[in-house]
Amino acid sequence: MFKALARFWRYLVAWVTGKVEQLEDPEVLLDQARREMQETLARNRERAIQAITQKNMLQAEVEKLERTVRDLERKAELALQQGKRDLALQIVREKKAQEGALETMRASLQQAVETVESIKVAIRRQEEEVRVKTAQALAMKARWKQAQIQTAINKALEGITVENIESSWSTAEQRIQRAEAEASARQEMAAQSLQGRIAALQDAQIDTEAEEELERIEQRLGLRPAASTDSVATSATTTVEDTEALKELEELERKLQAAQGESNPQSGA
C-alpha cells in the first residue's frame, strides 16, 4: 500500500512538472525497481537480525533455567541427606515450577529456531533474486539503448530519398561527360589546325635531332660503330630539306588565307 501511494505521488509530481516521459523512461523504471528491491532486502535483513536476536535471548533463558533446575535438584538431594524432608519437598516443588517454565521456554525456542531458519532461506532466495534482477536490468538497459540507436538511425534514413540521390548522381555524371566531350573536341580541333600540324612537324624534327644526338653519344662511348660520312651527310641534307619544305608550306598557307580574305568581302557585297 505504501509503495503504491509513493509511486502515485511521484507520478503526480512528474505530471505537474511536465516530466511524465522522463518518469516512464525504461532506465528510470529499472533503476527505481532495483532500488526498491534493495530497500526491501535491507528491511528483511534487519527483521532477520531481530529474529535471530530473539532466538539467542530465548536460548540464553533456556540455558539459565536448565542450570536453575539442576541446581534445585542438587539442593533437594542435599536436604534429604541432612534429614530435612520438608525443605527438600519445597525445593522439589520449586523445581517442578521451573521445569514447567523450561518446557514452555524450550517450545518457544524451537519455534524461534524454525522461524530463523525459514527467514535465512527467504533472505538467501531474495538475495539471489536481486542478483538475477540486477543482471536482467543491465541487459534490458542495453536493449533499450540499442532500440534508441536503431530508431535514431531509421529516422535519419527516412530523410534520405533515393530520388534525390539518383538526381544528384545523374547530374554529376552528365557534367563530367560534357566536360570530357568538350576537352576531346578542343583536342581534336587543336590537332586539325595549322598550328597543331606545325607543332606535330616540329615534334618530329625534335625527335629526329634527339635520335641523332643519342647516336653520336653512343659512338663516342663505343656503344655503336661509327656511321659513314655519306649517311650523315644524307641525314643532314634531309633535315635541311624538311625545314625548307616546312617554311615553304607555311608561306603557301599564309598566301591562301590572304586570298580568301580578299574574296570574302566581294562576295558579301
Give DSSP secondary structure letters for 36-90: HHHHHHHHHHHHHHHHHHHHHHHHHHHHHHHHHHHHHHHHHHHHHHTT-HHHHHH
Helix/strand/coil percentages in the chain, nearest 5 = 90, 0, 10
Instruction: Note whether 39 and 133 are same-domain residues.
Output: yes
Mean pLDDT by 10 residues, the chain (269 residues): 51 47 71 87 90 92 93 92 90 92 92 91 91 88 86 76 64 80 74 64 80 81 61 50 72 75 55
Contact between 68 and 100 under an 8 Å Cβ cutoff? The reply is no
Domain co-membership, 141 together with 40: yes
162 within a domain of the structure (yes/no): no
Among residues 88, 116, 150, which one ends one of the domains? Answer: 150
- State residue 164's pLDDT score: 59
Whole-number pLDDT of residue 242 = 64
pLDDT value at residue 111: 93
Among 150, 185, 216, give the residue marking a domain's end: 150
Question: b/e string for 232-248 if b means 16 or more Cβ within 10 A?
Answer: eeeeeeeeeeeeeeeee
Contact 27, 131 (CB under 8 A): no
Same structural domain for residues 146 and 203?
A: no
- The rounded distance, in Å, linking the Cα atoms of 235 and 192 is 29
Contacts 24+ apart (CB under 8 A), 77-83: none
Q: Are 121 and 214 in a shared domain? A: no
In a domain? residue 11: no
Question: Same structural domain for residues 127 and 228?
Answer: no
- 123 & 49 share domain: yes
Which range of residues forms the domain containing residue 250? 193-260
Number of domains present in the structure of the chain: 2
Q: Are 205 and 239 in contact (CB under 8 A)?
A: yes
Q: Model confidence over 168-225: pLDDT tens digits?
A: 667 777 888 888 787 777 777 665 665 666 666 777 788 888 888 888 888 888 776 6
Q: Is residue 48 part of a domain?
A: yes
User: What is the predicted pLDDT for the residue at 240?
Assistant: 57
Dig out the grid coordinates for 264 from the structure: 570574302
Domain end residue (candidates: 117, 150, 183): 150
Residues 28 and 145 in one domain: yes
Q: What's the confidence (pLDDT) of residue 230?
A: 47
Q: Are 55 and 116 in contact (CB under 8 A)?
A: yes
Residues 138 and 204 in one domain: no
